[in-house]
Amino acid sequence: MVHISDGVLPLEVLAAGFVLSGILLFLTLRGVRAEEIPRISLITAALFVASLVHFPVGPTSVHLIMNGLAGIILGKRAFVSVLVALTLQAIFFQHGGISVIGVNSLNMGIPALLAWQVFERRRGFGYPRREIVFGAVAGAVAVLGAVLLLSAELLLLGEGFSEIATLVLMAHIPIVIIEAAVLGTTAGYLDKVKPEMLVPAKAGQIRGA
Amino acid sequence: MSHLEIDGYSHLSSPIHRWDPRVKIVSMLVLIFSIVLLKSLAVALLGLAISIGLLLISRLPFAYVSQGIKWPALFLLPFPLILPLTMDGDMALTLYGLSFSVEGLEQGLLMMTRGLAAVVLIYPIFGSSPFNTTIHAMRSLGLPETVTQIFLFAYRYLFLLREQFTSMTRSLSSKGFTKKTDLPTARVLGAALGMLFIRSYERSDRIYKAMVSRGYNGHLPDSERFKINGFDLVKALMVLVLAFGLQGLDHLAVV
């Protein structure tokens, strides 16, 4: 639901989205090794499936976004994962759209990288449940970042859009809370069951097979 | 969760199905960009009509398309509903203390029309060839090899993981789990997703070893060869004329 749709943004924003996404893709994929590819792909598919999970909010339901999870598992490789997952969603569900793949990748991908950085900060703390706490913060940061970027782009459109931007921001507050709760649990679970899955200390290198 | 079969009707035969995928992708993308950048509502409606026309030519079943278009339509709806109330305009009309701006309504309808037209076009583009062919076509159009592979593998794994997750959900509900708006639900879902990710991760190790043992070294062989004929170019020319024609009309209409 954080996707912006086709037909809303002007040319400059669409073009900037593609150019910046291309640059980020290049930077975050540099030095990728063959053994990383199946892993990035599988996590991408898992993210896509996770985004099909609906969580009830009162009478309606929201679907999980999980860009933060990409960050804490894939490190800097999270960006390509987000980009591919979004493209697949645009094609299969028409969420977002083709002309906004660049913009949406930035909206979700930059916060995913941010979530990874937040999660890395846990290493300084001896608290035994730090994975849960930092996972929750990373989950909240990832969604909040995405929504803020989206609202900022809507504000760029002019004064008449400030109410819609506020509405979008408000509508996502429950999602921020839900993602924080789910991602905190997932991070704690991964740490207990398979800690090597969380990005190892050496920056951005996912462990090979 | 049944919508993973975008290419479920790629076996049909239509002028769009017979079109070379590379030429099809490029010309249709030009049309999409032309439509999403229109500024006149009347021209945008014409763009929507053209999109629907191309959809009809592609012979994709209407029921299957309309099911997919439902959601983006819902996302676009706030624009024509809210903008009339929040945008300033000359021709404001006041009713029971609320002022509606005609400009806001026009702007909202314009966004909705452009968005719908672009979404409709996704079907003739991606519904008319098998998805793997589409990805190979994108590769030969310059998509980086690593990204191509991630697309191909992720697409293949989607079906595996969906099956696995469906069976996990079934097992949870047979043990009495129902979703509620509370923390225990978040915990159960979080752990279920954690399990899905762990299984995926372990599976990716085995997949990688199996691939290496069959000669995988990080590169894909060129499996699909595309050939362009005269008809492909004629179709491209027609779509490009529509795309640039819309932009031309738009300039006339806005001035």
Question: Rounded to 5 degrees, what are φ and ψ at B178?
Answer: -125, 145
The mean per-residue pLDDT over the stretch A56-67 comes to 75
Helix (H) or strand (E) holding B160: helix B145-174
Cα B67 to the chain's mean position, in Å? 13
CATH number at residue A123: 1.10.1760.20
Q: Which tokens belong to B239?
A: 């779509």
Q: Which residues contact B234 (CB under 8 A, 6 or more apart)?
A: none
| Chain B closest-CA separation from residue A165 CA (Å) | 11
Candidate from A52-56, A105-109, B8-12, B190-194 with smallest mean pLDDT = A52-56
| Chain A closest-CA separation from residue B242 CA (Å) | 18
A164: contact with B, CB 8 A cutoff: yes
Of the candidates B238, B242, B246, B241, the one whose C-alpha atom is nearest the C-alpha of residue B42 is B246
Widest Cα–Cα separation across chain A: 52
Let me know if residue A206 belongs to a domain. no
Q: Do A35 and B208 touch (CB under 8 A)?
A: yes
Let me know if residue A109 belongs to a domain. yes
User: B 33-92 residues with CB below 8 A of A?
Assistant: 33, 35-37, 68-69, 71-72, 75-76, 78-79, 82-83, 85-88
Of A91, A92, A97, the CB nearest to B115: A97
Query: Residue A58 — very low, low, confident or very high, per pLDDT cuts 50/70/90?
Result: low
Candidate from A90-94, A137-141, B24-28 with smallest mean pLDDT = A90-94
CA dist B11 → A170, A207, B6 (Å): 44, 41, 12
Q: Do B189 and A80 touch (CB under 8 A)?
A: no
Let me know if residue A203 belongs to a domain. no
Q: Tell me what pLDDT residue B186 has.
A: 82
Query: Residue A48 — very low, low, confident or very high, per pLDDT cuts 50/70/90?
Result: confident
Q: B57-60: long-range contacts (C-beta < 8 A, 24 or more apart)? A: B57/B14, B57/B15, B57/B16, B57/B124, B58/B12, B58/B14, B58/B16, B58/B17, B58/B123, B58/B124, B58/B127, B58/B128, B59/B12, B59/B13, B59/B14, B59/B17, B60/B9, B60/B12, B60/B123, B60/B124, B60/B127, B60/B128
Query: Residue A38 — very low, low, confident or very high, per pLDDT cuts 50/70/90?
Result: confident
* pLDDT tens profile A6-25: 888 889 999 999 999 999 99
Residue B221: pLDDT over 80: no
**Inter-residue contact B147 to A80 (CB < 8 Å):** yes
Q: Tell me what pLDDT residue A113 has.
A: 96
Of A29, A94, A185, the CB nearest to B71: A94
Candidate from A124-138, A185-199, B74-88, B135-149 with smallest mean pLDDT = B74-88
So where are chain B's domains? Answer: 21-137+227-254, 144-213
Query: Residue B47 — very low, low, confident or very high, per pLDDT cuts 50/70/90?
Result: very high
> How many domains does one find in chain A?
1
Query: Residue B224 — very low, low, confident or very high, per pLDDT cuts 50/70/90?
Result: low
Of the candidates A194, A174, A198, the one whose C-alpha atom is nearest the C-alpha of residue A71 is A198
3-state secondary structure of A56: strand
Local structure of residue A124 (DSSP, 8 states): G
What's the pTM? 0.89
| Chain B closest-CA separation from residue A176 CA (Å) | 12
Residue B191: pLDDT over 70: yes
Helix (H) or strand (E) holding B28: helix B21-36
3-state secondary structure of B131: helix
- Give A-chain residues touching B69 at CB under 8 angstroms: 94
Let me know if residue A78 belongs to a domain. yes
Q: Do A181 and B116 touch (CB under 8 A)?
A: no
Q: Tell me what pLDDT residue B1 has.
A: 39
Q: Tell me what pLDDT residue B118 has.
A: 92
Candidate from A21-30, B67-76, B165-174 with smallest mean pLDDT = B67-76
Angle, in degrees to the nearest 10, between helices A130-156 and A101-120: 150
Range of the domain at A31: 11-197
Q: Do A7 and B111 touch (CB under 8 A)?
A: yes
Question: Rounded to 5 degrees, what are φ and ψ at B90?
Answer: -65, -40
Q: Tell me what pLDDT residue B89 has.
A: 67
User: A 79-138 residues with CB below 8 A of B?
Assistant: 80-81, 83-85, 87-88, 90-95, 97-99
- Give A-chain residues touching B70 at CB under 8 angstroms: none
Candidate from B50-64, B211-225, B238-252 with smallest mean pLDDT = B211-225
Q: Tell me what pLDDT residue B247 has.
A: 94
Of the candidates A43, A204, A190, A66, the one whose C-alpha atom is nearest the C-alpha of residue B207 is A43
Residue B212: pLDDT over 60: yes
| Chain A closest-CA separation from residue B110 CA (Å) | 8
Q: Tell me what pLDDT residue B43 has.
A: 95
Query: Residue A47 — very low, low, confident or very high, per pLDDT cuts 50/70/90?
Result: confident
Q: Do B115 and A185 touch (CB under 8 A)?
A: no
Residue B83: pLDDT over 50: yes
Computed over every residue of chain A, the mean pLDDT equals 86
* pLDDT tens profile A149-176: 999 998 988 878 888 888 888 888 988 9
